[in-house]
Amino acid sequence: MIRNTLPRYEILSEEAVATLDRGWRRIVSEIGIEFVLPAAVEEFRRAGQAVDGSVVRLDPEFVLEQVAKAPREFDVQARNPARSVHIGGDHMVFTAVYGCPFVRVGSERRDATMADFENLVRLAQAFPQLDSPGGTICEPNDRPLDSRHLDMVFALQTLSDKPYMGSVTSGPNAADTIRMTEIVFGGREAIERTPAVIALINVNSPLRYDDRMLSAMLEYVRAGQPVVITPFLLMGAMSPVSIPATLVQQLAEALAGVALAQLVRPGTPVILGSFLSNTDMQSGSPSFGTPESAIGLLCTGQLARRLGLPWRSGGGFTSSQAVDAQAAYEAVMTMLPTFLAGTNYVMHAAGWLESGLVSCYEKFVVDIEVLRMLQAEFAPLEVDEASLAFDAHLEVGHGGHFLGAAHTLERFRDCFYRPLLSSTENFERWQRNGGRDAAERASEIWRRTLAEYEQPPLDAAIREELEEYVTRRRAELGD
């Protein structure tokens, strides 16, 4: 977690903000949002909103009253207190890639397995630039569908001592996650006091929440655990081919979800989510790292701050199929705006490849290098008399060299960013050392990092209780 105290880069005029504000109000009140779960609809009916089947038409002022109940900032505890995070304000929390069915290792692309899941969690634990492994760091396809959420949560809890994200594949799976979190953190009361697991709730955009996501969401909200309510918007598919239209849709969808969370449990922590990119209108495929997604990201930050909500966006997005130049320029094209916009909760910050279908080991390392660079870049620059190093100028004079100056010798170890992956070797030396490109060097780095990984200690009784829970539930689920 870093604090980003540099200025926010805001590109919307007051007039544009007012236009967007009218836009989401019109959508929620005239078209409404569909909630495909009677319990959710019932919450809105009881609060006096207009219900028509599963569609709820919302009074915008009512929505804002609910939104105002959400905390502007909150803490999430990790089982190692030193790893606990604060979400909101100028804090930025970084989590790894989420939800990929495939992995890429070097030139091999294949179905992700539980072993990959565990390895990627270990990498997320090892790199200090990540505050959390996230949740579904890849899909463990070799485990039964019914019970793999138990395997994933167990791995997140035991291989890492950083905060983690819970299962959202159903209400019962969410309940399992919460129960396992209670085991680790000392009971329900302890996690209600300070939340300990975050859940990603995707909207089934446009303008619909499905029953599966709503059931999971209600479990987390009732337990006071934070939900990241995220419209899933690829312009041209789930939203119109217009950034302003997509921004208002995003607000309409997300704020309706935030209102539901506050109705169910006033004051429950929420994160305004944004996952906004566009369709490549030539190929019909999703397109990531685009100018449109960067613009959407900057605008979303500005709008979220006006609403007083912590917000999620950003990541090392790319559509590239390989760890090549495209993968890298697209990743920075979203990750740098993520810092400019001061995103509070950054998902997909390491490992994302191929439009999110692939968790890639080498891309993981590339993204860590990008994160390290940006975390250095967005630190405040200290400008005072001493920083002007006037004596060094006196010492070196005209046409001299600063390498041997006293000022340099006192500071050379930590005066500049030191790369993890990047090479500045001259060509001859680089060739002599094998002429390996960044992807090849990244491969060596993740292998070394895994080899040096140390599992964080966990109380034996807690581990045993978790194992018993997983074993029992797996049997109950028939796996």
Residues 438-457 that bind a copy of itself (CB under 8 A): 438-439, 442
- Write the interaction track for a copy of itself spanning residues 164-193; mark x where CB under 8 A is met and - where it is not: ------------------------------
Minimum distance from residue 27 beta carbon to a copy of itself (Å)? 6
Residue 393 beta carbon to a copy of itself: minimum distance, rounded to whole angstroms: 6
- Binding-site member from 285, 448, 471, 475 for a copy of itself (CB under 8 A): 285
The site for a copy of itself, by CB under 8 A, has a size of 126
Q: Considering only residues 380-399, where is the footprint of a copy of itself by CB under 8 A?
A: 381-385, 387-390, 392-394, 396-399
**For a copy of itself, which is the closer residue by CB, 146 or 280?**
280
Of residues 473, 371, 465, 479, the one with CA closest to residue 157: 465
265: phi then psi, degrees, rounded to nearest 5: -150, 95
Q: Among residue numbers 290 through 309, which ones bind a copy of itself (CB under 8 A)?
A: 290-292, 294-295, 299
Question: Can you say whether residue 97 is alpha, beta or left, with left for phi > 0 and alpha for psi between -120 and 50 degrees?
Answer: beta
Contact between 264 and a copy of itself by CB under 8 A: the answer reads no
Binding residues among 410-429 for a copy of itself as defined by CB under 8 A: 411-413, 415-419, 421-427
Instruction: Give min distance, CB of 239 to a copy of itself, in A.
Output: 6
CA–chain centroid gap for 18, Å, is: 28
**Cβ-based burial of 233 (10 A; exposed 0-12, middle 13-18, buried ≥19):** buried
The closest alpha carbon to 97, from 321, 386, 358, 278, belongs to: 358
| C-alpha span between 23 and 18 (Å, rounded) | 9
Question: Which part of the chain contacts a copy of itself (CB under 8 A), choosing from 192-200, 224-232, 274-282, 304-312?
Answer: 274-282
Query: Over the Cα atoms of the chain, what is R_g?
Result: 23
Amino acid residing at 38: P
d(CA 373, CA 365): 12
Q: Which tokens is 121 given?
A: 């969690």
- Asked if residue 282 binds a copy of itself (CB under 8 A), the reply is yes
4 binds a copy of itself (CB under 8 A): no
Contact 69, 262 (CB under 8 A): yes
Does position 81 bind a copy of itself by CB under 8 A? no
> 11-70: which residues touch a copy of itself (CB under 8 A)?
11-13, 15-16, 19-20, 23, 26-27, 31-34, 55
Interface with a copy of itself, residue 336, by CB under 8 A: yes
Contact 271, 311 (CB under 8 A): yes
